[in-house]
Structures are given as structure tokens and as C-alpha cells.
Amino acid sequence: MNTGAEQRQDMLKKMGLGANEMKISQEGIKLIKNFEGCGLEAYQDSVGVWTIGYGTIKGVKEGDQINQDEAEHLLQEEMPDMRGI
């Protein structure tokens, strides 16, 4: 079974893009936030992957909790090209 992260990597490979080649605008970030929503307590997504914040999955486990500032930081970590926007 493909997890959300594996599906995303598969999509990037098919598009011929590496994770560091993608750039995202402020409008794109707004769309991600709107689509993902923000969960400050770890939850299992639709395929059972532990998720927190705006869709962060790396290192997330049951019982994890974060605050809004941490959620924003995690999103920035996953979208390094937005740091200067």
C-alpha cells in the first residue's frame, strides 16, 4: 500500500521533478492550508498514516501534540522555497 508520502514521491517522479525543484507561491500555501486543515494533535489520515499540522507525516506518532507556531514551522520545513516569500 502506498502512503501519502510515497504517492507524492511517485507523482514527482512521473512529472520529472525532484522535491527541491518545486517552488510554491503564497497562494499555493493558502490552498494547501485550506485543503489540509491544521490538526494540532496527531491523527491518522485517510490511509492510516499518522499526521499533524498541515499534513506533516515525518516522525509523527500517536499522541503527538503541537501548537500553531510549530505547525507553521513544520509546513515551512516541508516547503523550503517559501522561506523567502
pTM for this entry? 0.65
| DSSP class of 51 | E
Nearest to 55 by CA among 72, 67, 69: 72
One-letter amino acid identity for 55?
G
Q: Mind listing the pLDDT tens digit for each residue in 24-68? A: 888 989 999 999 999 999 999 999 999 999 999 999 999 999 999
The CATH architecture one would assign to domain 24-82 is: Orthogonal Bundle (1.10)
